[in-house]
Amino acid sequence: MVILPRPMRSPAPLVLPDSPAAAPQPVPRPQRSPRTHPGAGFGLLVLCALAVWLSLPAAARAGDASAAAGDPGEDAPAIDQAVAPEAPVNSASEKEASIWDFIEPGAAATATPSVKQAAQELATERLGELSDLGSPGGEPPVEYYLDPVGTTNKDPLHLDTIDPSEFDIPIIVNDAVKQWMVYFLGRGRPYYARYLERSSKWRPLMYRQIDARGMPRDLVYLSMIESGYSPGAVSYAAASGLWQFMPATGRQYKLRVDWWADDRRDPEASTRAALDYLSYLHKMFAGDWLLAWASYNGGEGRVMGVTRRYGTTDFWKIKSLHGLHTETENYVPKLIAAAIIGHHPERYGFVGIRYQPEFSFDTVDVPASVGVDVLARCAGTTEEGFLELNPKLRRWALPPDPEVQQVRIPKGRADVFNAEFAKVPAEERLTYIQHTVRKGESMGSIAKKYSVASADIARINHIASSARISVGMDLIIPTSPRAGAEVPMPSAPTTTPTSGSGPVLRPDGSTRSGSTASLPASAAAPTVVVTYKVRSGDTLAAIARAQGVSVDNLKAWNGIKNENQIYAGQRLTVRKAAPAAASGAAAAARPAGSSTAGPSASGSSAAGPAASAAEPKAPVAPTTYTVRSGDTLSEIASSKHVSLDDLKAWNKISGSTIVVGQKLIVSKSAAPVPVAPAAKVTVYAVRKGDTLGGIADRYNCTISELKSWNGLSGSTIYPGQKLKIKG
């Protein structure tokens, strides 16, 4: 290893070898006091160290920290995160949990060990960068004292051999780039060596997509500095995957990020999205790759604003003016330095690298909601091996939609997989159900409820069997299909088991137990899965009303935590009850392999005219509908199972304008509406952080209705206030 020489223990910043200030300075010889014996100081240090060691408890001297650690045990009740105090943790678990505490509560329960390791590695590297940049660095090598002139005259960065024509991205060698080269060749050398090991696994996949678009191949170094070529890397800011997408940006570029799957971890999908994003940024900044990279890290809006503020598009000038965040200013020179070293790693001492084999696989099409254990068994691999090939999966089963999904299996196993999978009965393909932890539950009580071992629950959820679980945590529960587990398949009626007494998963995600032997097949409510495309101005509450479902279910089906964070173009999964008379006929008439679920340009239900025609002809009360805030004519038509043209004709509407409070006829037979019974009144106690808008969305009503029911003139509410909610 070659380390740049510098004066010993100098507080001055790093001095590069081509600077005249790099000349070695004489080191003053320490003066020994004539009244002190040479060995007295050392002996005193030994005695002090021995005294401190003897003063420690016996357990500490033995290195056993477990004596003071507490273990709540598997029967410890769930902690309500809103009220539970912080519990001390032992040193053994503190390291594992450190990064996940900053990302999202409960995320550690679904992260595989490889994902945790990648996240911890990324965090350690980032901390190493922060501690290294601007610090004096390590001591000079021994060669410095033997041959100070010769050592100083060497160029460990090989600056004279750098040829910009070798690269297809702009290469500029300045002090900022040199500083990052020094880091990668010094304290960052172990990390860079690890990146090189992984590069051979992922670069071929990236090159194929880059070449198809005619983009620079050296863009692969952006993935190197983002994630170290690790699909499981997660940052403190919750960015994830090879290209470190934030959840919102990932969804914007058509990556699925929900409870079931995270396409940011998928190498093919994330590379496609990253190249889409980089192409967009490259065009936005008129072909300037430096500004495009800076925008990838810091956001295009911030970078565009800085260029306008300073009146320049020269990244290096903007950097000299400190117009961007420090991380963004370091991002561009870091990428250039990584590319320079990556083109000739042996030149910079990276020899003996154990390059990983290329990521190779076969793909097969399978139905939704199949257990990972079943897929792995048919593919002839382990569950962990299957997840390594399909890193986007966050649960131990495929998502319930779309109806047909593509998964990766080991290379050369496609024929074997298809043959083995065909032997598995449909009712045995899903062996897991979802359980949301409730207050008072423990790992032991949940295991007893489902008649499984708590160790099995802990294993598939990647948590310690003795770890405390928290209220609201989602767990995957292994269950035998013969125990009566019922899971709704997308775009098909839900069937009811004819025997067994195990838990049943309803279409809304809740479970019930008890014998189902006496229930006829028609007793179970058939469901269909439709896809709704969010439009500008939509709210989750308005979509829920239009589709006839609750906001909570809509959030659960789509992995949405904040109901205010939806965007135009987003596709939402909606589970709806199939029309009673049409479900059997429609299923029988539907060709094999066809789907009733799918994207709809208008965002309407995919039930189709056939389903509407089979519905009862009697008028449905009420025959009028009062327009609410956020409603549109197409949403109302969809929710009432009528055509948009009929709705306009019945109400003599020529355009599409409707107003809040307007009453619309929604049935061709406008029979008098019977007097409705008195509405049920719910009393809600306002909690800290509540708003009228949030409460209205939760109970599917408008803010105006809340104000009217409670005599409110403004929007001010306070914790403990009682609000009446009708309906």
Indicate the DSSP class of residue 674: P
CB neighbour burial string for 419-436, b if at least 16 within 10 angstroms, e if fewer:
ebbeeeeeeebbbbbbbe
Spell out the residues 6+ positions from residue 535 whose beta carbon is closer than 8 angstroms to its own: 568, 603, 632
Annotated catalytic residue within 74, 121, 125, 226: 226
Comparing CA positions, the residue from 458, 424, 431 lying closest to residue 442 is 458
- Residue identified by tokens 């190197």 is 224
The SS3 call for residue 393 is strand
Distance CA 702, CA 629 (A): 7
Q: Do 412 and 362 touch, CB atoms closer than 8 A? A: yes
Distance CA 260, CA 528 (A): 19
Measured over the CA atoms of residue 343, residue 344, residue 346 and residue 347, the dihedral's sign is negative
DSSP 506-574: -TTS-EE-S--TT--GGGS--EEEEEEE--TT--HHHHHHHHT--HHHHHHHHT-S-TT---TT-EEEE
Comparing CA positions, the residue from 640, 645, 697, 634 lying closest to residue 667 is 640
Q: Do 500 and 483 touch, CB atoms closer than 8 A? A: yes
Q: What angle do CA 343, 391, 474 make, to 5 degrees?
A: 145
Q: Does residue 129 carry a catalytic annotation?
A: no
Distance CA 393, CA 388 (A): 9
The SS3 call for residue 500 is coil
Looking at the annotation, which residues are catalytic? Answer: 226
